[in-house]
Amino acid sequence: MPTRLSSIQYQNPSQPLSIDSNNKPLLIVPVFQDKTNDPKNPTFQTSAELTYAEKQVGFPIAKTFKLEEFTGGYGSSLYVSNSAMPVSVLFVGFGDQQKKNQLPVYRIHKAYSKALSTVKRKELTSLIAIISTDGTNKLQDVLSLQLICAVGDHFYETREVKEPSEHKANLTLITNEAAGKSATAEFGLATVKARALAMDLVNMPANIKTTASLVDAANSLKDLGLTVTIQNDVEWIKSNMPCFYEVGRGSVITDPPRWIRVHYKPAGSIKQKIALVGKSVIFDTGGYQVKPDPYMNTMKADMTGGATVLSVIQAVATLKIPNVEVTAYLAATPNKIDSDAMLPDSIVNTSSGKKVEIRHTDAEGRLTLIDAVNQAEKDSPDLIFTIATLTGSAARAVGPRTALMSNNNEWRDKFAKIAEQYGDSCQKLDILEEDFEDIKSKLDGADINNTGHEKYRGAQTAASFILSGLADENKPLIHLDVAGGDMTTDEKATAIAVRGLLGFIHEQ
Ligand code: BES
Ligand code: ZN
Ligand code: ZN
């Protein structure tokens, strides 16, 4: 279900809070620690935000910290509510005041989320968050967005929830006037909605998720003015995207492959064309080289890349982002088996004409993407992104974050910086010439193989395989392998990379 965060307003700290006594608001106050006197015994930092909160509440709330031994340590929080107070208060600890400016943005989101999770949803219908009361803090937009996302996440419910909650949240952000921009609120709401769409698609149970689920999600974007083209003709896919077809051939009868294209064209001049290619493997059984137990579990999430690109383009269209033309591409298919499914030791053609030796039927994502990037390139983008739950190797290398690779380090570094500012944590991996050498096929009649030989560079050899599909090898391509972070440890979708990509497009 869409998130229940329904509206966001800004308020200047010079104005008093309007408090509805029938609906007691929750005041969210950031707290930092002071470690200057004694690093081993930090105390809470008396900040302008805290002073402002005490003035509004008319109650020396800080004293309660001592009672509870709360000092504002990172990840800790304190919920204070009593009948004498006109508001309840949630203090959110962000740790050492002196390290305030080095705090990674995703850790801000994490701290807010953790703190909110300690409060019952029904207490959260009216939220007032003190972002900052001084005019100098450039981080205000960054902080606001992370808080908005944390609140949005808190209210997110899957479509499968038995008793959807009735609560709706209304959020007021206290920032100084200079930073109080309704644009941030609008961007925040669009981000929350986009993340909810991505999570809904990924969380959908395996037995009801098909290529049609992605087709339907794409078609519903037409309402936003996006152009949606669905290639349903399997014969077209077979002749034009033969390597992608190879993955789909095991389910042609039950759930045939679909090639989905969603296009956003802004009004006015265009400075940049961006292609977003999302791995859209509906369910990855591994194929004939079947995944052993328990590795097949969570493979309903193997279409996270596709869900990501649909949700990003939804937000781009909602926000009517100017100057950037964006196209999302999804080569959607399950990786399943029937008597016609792909066999290891096959040699198949690709959109680019390179011949591929299939060594492993479970390395299917790259088979779909090598053709997808080649097709995307035909629309002449300036920059191509691939977003994929591609390799266990990336998950082992970087854990629950994005493994970031590219054939163009300038673009890669630019993306990493922006993504970080928007709350997505990326770690860079270099692709070497050796990675291209490693995927050369030893068979007559094949150019490349889909596994490589180097045991510990699986993420990079997979990336080099995808790059081999480009007609112009210098076309900038940024590859996000999100296999480690697409789901939480309790198997819930995370909407990884949505904020980073949306932020990047927004900043162009
Ligand atoms: N979808 C998987 C990758 C994956 C693994 C995603 C774990 C999320 C969590 C992919 O298709 C795959 O199976 N990759 C293999 C490739 C190997 C056979 C060369 C892998 O990484 O083990
Ligand atoms: Zn696989
Ligand atoms: Zn896969």
Atom of ligand 1 nearest to the CA of 289: 18
Whether residue 88 has its Cβ less than 6 Å from ligand 1: no
C-alpha 194/C-alpha 316 separation (Å) is 9
Q: If you average pLDDT over residues 327-348, what whole number do you get?
A: 98
The model's pLDDT over 191-208, given as tens digits with 9 standing for 90+, comes to 999 999 999 999 999 999
Res. 415: pLDDT tops 70: yes
How distant is the alpha carbon of residue 130 from its chain centre? 26
Angle made by CA atoms 297, 298, 302, in degrees to the nearest 5: 125
pLDDT at 39: 84
Rounded to the nearest angstrom, the distance between the alpha carbon of 302 and the centre of ligand 1 is 9
Given the DSSP bridges, would you call strands 227-231 and 88-96 parallel, antiparallel or unpaired?
unpaired
Which of 45-49, 94-98, 185-189, 197-201 has the lowest average pLDDT? 45-49
User: Which residues does 92 contact at the CB level (< 8 Å), separation at least 6?
Assistant: 28, 29, 30, 31, 77, 111, 112, 115
User: Which residues does 25 contact at the CB level (< 8 Å), separation at least 6?
Assistant: 17, 19, 87, 88, 126, 127, 128, 172
Angle made by CA atoms 333, 208, 331, in degrees to the nearest 5: 15
Handedness of CA 431, 404, 309, 245 (dihedral sign): positive
> Which residue minimizes the CA distance to atom 17 of ligand 1?
363
pLDDT at 166: 75
Whether residue 482 has its Cβ less than 6 Å from ligand 1: no
Q: If you average pLDDT over residues 341-357, what whole number do you get?
A: 98
Choose between 69 and 167: higher pLDDT: 69
Choose between 329 and 103: higher pLDDT: 329
pLDDT at 494: 97
User: Which residues does 15 contact at the CB level (< 8 Å), separation at least 6?
Assistant: none
pLDDT mean across residues, the chain? 93
Token pair recorded at residue 455: 């045991």
Whether residue 395 has its Cβ less than 6 Å from ligand 1: yes
Peptide bond into 294 cis (omega under 30): yes
C-alpha 426/C-alpha 424 separation (Å) is 6
Q: If you average pLDDT over residues 252-277, what whole number do you get?
A: 98
Q: If you average pLDDT over residues 416-423, what whole number do you get?
A: 97
pLDDT at 177: 63
User: Which residues does 258 contact at the CB level (< 8 Å), separation at least 6?
Assistant: 211, 212, 214, 215, 230, 231, 232, 330, 332, 333
pLDDT at 179: 56
Contact between residue 375 and residue 351 where contact means Cβ atoms under 8 Å apart: yes
Q: In 72-84, which positions are buried (b, 16+ CB within 10 angstroms) versus exposed (e)? A: bbbebbbbbeeee
Residue 125: which pLDDT band, with cuts at 50, 70 and 90? confident
Rounded to the nearest angstrom, the distance between the alpha carbon of 482 and the centre of ligand 3 is 11
Res. 2: pLDDT tops 50: no
Res. 109: pLDDT tops 60: yes
Choose between 48 and 156: higher pLDDT: 156
The model's pLDDT over 277-328, given as tens digits with 9 standing for 90+, comes to 999 999 999 999 999 999 999 999 999 999 999 999 999 999 999 999 999 9
Residue 137: which pLDDT band, with cuts at 50, 70 and 90? low
Residue 1: which pLDDT band, with cuts at 50, 70 and 90? very low
- Annotated catalytic, 366? yes
Q: In 279-298, which positions are buried (b, 16+ CB within 10 angstroms) versus exposed (e)? A: bbbbbbbbbebebeeeeeeb
Q: Which of 288, 297, 298, 362 to mutate to test the pocket of ligand 1 (most atoms within 8 A of CB)?
A: 362
pLDDT at 180: 54
Residue 493: which pLDDT band, with cuts at 50, 70 and 90? very high
C-alpha 456/C-alpha 462 separation (Å) is 12
Question: Residue with structure tokens 């803090």?
Answer: 137
pTM comes to 0.96
Given the DSSP bridges, would you call strands 356-357 and 448-449 parallel, antiparallel or unpaired?
parallel
* Pure H helices in 282-404: 304-319, 365-377, 392-398
> Which residue minimizes the CA distance to atom 13 of ligand 1?
362
Rounded to the nearest angstrom, the distance between the alpha carbon of 281 and the centre of ligand 1 is 11
C-alpha 232/C-alpha 239 separation (Å) is 13
Res. 3: pLDDT tops 60: no
Q: Which of 159, 312, 314, 324 minimizes the C-alpha distance to 222?
A: 314
* Pure H helices in 136-205: 140-155, 182-203
Whether residue 364 has its Cβ less than 6 Å from ligand 1: yes
C-alpha 107/C-alpha 95 separation (Å) is 11
Whether residue 391 has its Cβ less than 6 Å from ligand 1: yes
The model's pLDDT over 209-225, given as tens digits with 9 standing for 90+, comes to 999 999 999 999 999 99
Rounded to the nearest angstrom, the distance between the alpha carbon of 278 and the centre of ligand 3 is 12
pLDDT at 77: 95
C-alpha 193/C-alpha 8 separation (Å) is 13
pLDDT at 50: 86
pLDDT at 165: 79
Q: Which of 184, 186, 164 minimizes the C-alpha distance to 175?
A: 184
Out of 261, 354, 359, 366, pick the active-site residue: 366
Out of 100, 181, 265, 291, pick the active-site residue: 291
Rounded to the nearest angstrom, the distance between the alpha carbon of 242 and the centre of ligand 2 is 18
Strands (E), 233-323: 258-264, 272-284
- Annotated catalytic, 181? no
Contact between residue 431 and residue 406 where contact means Cβ atoms under 8 Å apart: yes
Question: Residue with structure tokens 């707290």?
Answer: 31
pLDDT at 10: 86
Token pair recorded at residue 489: 């440890």
Res. 413: pLDDT tops 60: yes
Q: If you average pLDDT over residues 157-173, what whole number do you get?
A: 85
Which of 10-19, 227-236, 373-382 has the lowest average pLDDT? 10-19
The model's pLDDT over 447-465, given as tens digits with 9 standing for 90+, comes to 999 999 998 999 999 999 9
